[in-house]
Structure 1
Amino acid sequence: MIVLFCGPPASGKSEIVKRLVKELEDWKLIVSDEFKRKTYRHMFIETERWAGRVRYLILDGTFYKKEWRDRIREIAEVRREEVFTVYVTCSLETCLERNRLRKEQIEEKAVSIIYNQIEKPEKANLSLDTDILSVDEAVRMLTSAICPGRVS
């Protein structure tokens, strides 16, 4: 299963992912922040490399363009993998505040631009509003969705 996290910068995706992987076995995490240039090209290459080799392939990035999420779906289809899309969101104000608290900040203008240009997934398997949900609540919802039958 490919678990594709998308949403604006500083919405809480990486915090949720960090907790999620503690709950899973047989996973690989690919984080867009690891790539400085041609970010999504590298994400696609790594997805092609790892899809089908682990039970949970977790992709952590904004994926704010639909075409990028569609490309992941194409790779998944070829590899006969399911894609579980998690849309993480919150208010722009929350994103900007969390960004200010980060060790490695993104320019505020960039956060605002991506926030306003995000092409929201029409068919997210799970939407998490981190203005409302704690990280623990989000992880509980997510693990019950991707690990059916598991007691958390």
Structure 2
Amino acid sequence: MKAGEDARGARSEKPKKLGLCVLCGLPAAGKSTFARALSHRLRQESSWAVGVVAYDDVMPDAFLEEASARPLTKAMELIQSARPSQWKSLRQELLKYLEYFFLAVINGCQMSAPPSRTEAMWEDFLTCLKDQDLISSSALEAQSHYLLTKTAVSRPLLLILDDNFYYQSMRYEVYQLARKYSLGFCQLFLECSLETCLQRNGQRPLPVPAETIHLMGSKIEKPNPEKNAWEHNSLTIQSPACTSEARLKLTDLLLTALENPIKYVEENVEQKVDSCFRTT
């Protein structure tokens, strides 16, 4: 896969507006509801192709349920200590799926399946794209190739990644992907009080342990453009309210991201930041 070379060549011949938007915040902050509403608005008002990739819907259910069902000490041990490499590798595997999708869009070809993948997770990812009219079903699936829809290839395309992303290192991995293929990149932090998150979470059929939300609230690293230059294209929005002023700022943020893709830098994209990465 000649990623950087092929991507830059295709983009120079036929530039296409492509972007990644990281949506982050505490559990039950309203991210999924916000993402669905934003996706609908962008499709209707801007005629963009929009895909929402909710990590909770794509990551293996068994692993997530095992973590959520345990008390705080056991859940955090599972996620951060007992199997940190597995959790981190699953997140990176999902980023690899996104890379294969963007490669297909950039090069105007079919999307191929990664040779190494978690089948259940890959199938959920495909379902996510199909449900949002980004790939179509065809007989080629038997050969692990997937056709992009006309919507995906003919319109400005924005993928919204819906997850907690409570460490900046998690978001930086997405930024690396955007930089590798000269995509637009931006971040939305949905700010919600801890009390409101706990109240909403308690009303869910499968709530996250309250202690986990408390711990995330104490550890969350909000986007910090003053400290990290790569986070300059970020916006904090109050949940559940979204004022007219906030809507205008949000529209401007997304347009800026699509109109100003990150310039590809000829260097090893796996920068020496592993030492500061935290596993979750």
Deviation at 1:130, TM superposition (A): 1.0
**1:43: which partner in 2?**
94
Q: Distance in 2 between matches of 1:13 and 1:32?
A: 11
1:93 aligns with 2:195: yes
Checking the alignment, whether the CA contact within 8 Å between 2:235 and 2:250 is kept in structure 1 is yes
TM-score by length of 2: 0.47
1:27 aligns with 2:50: yes
Q: Distance in 2 between matches of 1:72 and 1:105?
A: 27
Paired residues, what number? 147
After TM superposition, the structure 1 = structure 2 runs for residues 69-108 of structure 1, keeping only pairs within 5 Å, are 69-108=171-210
Range moving further from structure 2, 8-17 or 137-146: 137-146
Deviation at 1:114, TM superposition (A): 1.4
Please provide the CA RMSD for this pair. 2.3
Change (3 A) 1:2 1:76: same
1:6 aligns with 2:24: yes
Deviation at 1:47, TM superposition (A): 2.7
Change (3 A) 1:94 1:27: same
Q: Distance in 2 between matches of 1:21 and 1:44?
A: 20
Checking the alignment, whether the CA contact within 8 Å between 1:16 and 1:138 is kept in structure 2 is no
Instruction: Structure 1 unaligned segments of length 5 or more: list them.
Output: none
Q: Distance in 1 between matches of 2:168 and 2:27?
A: 16
Q: Which amino acid aligns with 1:30?
A: V
Identity %: 26
Q: Which amino acid aligns with 2:97?
A: E
Q: Which amino acid aligns with 2:196?
A: T
Q: Which amino acid aligns with 2:28?
A: A
Deviation at 1:142, TM superposition (A): 2.5
Checking the alignment, whether the CA contact within 8 Å between 1:16 and 1:139 is kept in structure 2 is no
Q: Distance in 2 between matches of 1:19 and 1:60?
A: 13
**2:84: which partner in 1?**
none
Q: Distance in 2 between matches of 1:145 and 1:115?
A: 25
Change (3 A) 1:15 1:64: same
Q: Which amino acid aligns with 1:75?
A: L
Deviation at 1:40, TM superposition (A): 2.0
Range moving further from structure 2, 33-42 or 105-114: 33-42
Checking the alignment, whether the CA contact within 8 Å between 1:2 and 1:59 is kept in structure 2 is yes
Checking the alignment, whether the CA contact within 8 Å between 1:51 and 1:81 is kept in structure 2 is no
Q: Distance in 2 between matches of 1:128 and 1:26?
A: 23
Change (3 A) 1:46 1:29: farther
Per-residue CA deviation, residues 80-127 of structure 1 (Å, 9 max, x unaligned), is 011110011111111101111223311111111112111111025210
Q: Distance in 2 between matches of 1:82 and 1:69?
A: 14
Q: Which amino acid aligns with 1:117?
A: K
Per-residue CA deviation, residues 7-36 of structure 1 (Å, 9 max, x unaligned), is 111111111101011122312221110213
Q: Distance in 2 between matches of 1:46 and 1:134?
A: 32
Deviation at 1:143, TM superposition (A): 3.2
1:145 aligns with 2:253: yes
Match of 1:68 among 170, 173, 177: 170
Checking the alignment, whether the CA contact within 8 Å between 1:2 and 1:51 is kept in structure 2 is no
Q: Distance in 1 between matches of 2:246 and 2:27?
A: 17
Instruction: Structure 2 unaligned segments of length 5 or more: list them.
Output: 1-18, 43-47, 64-86, 106-151, 226-230, 257-280
Q: Which amino acid aligns with 1:40?
A: R
SS at match of 1:51: helix
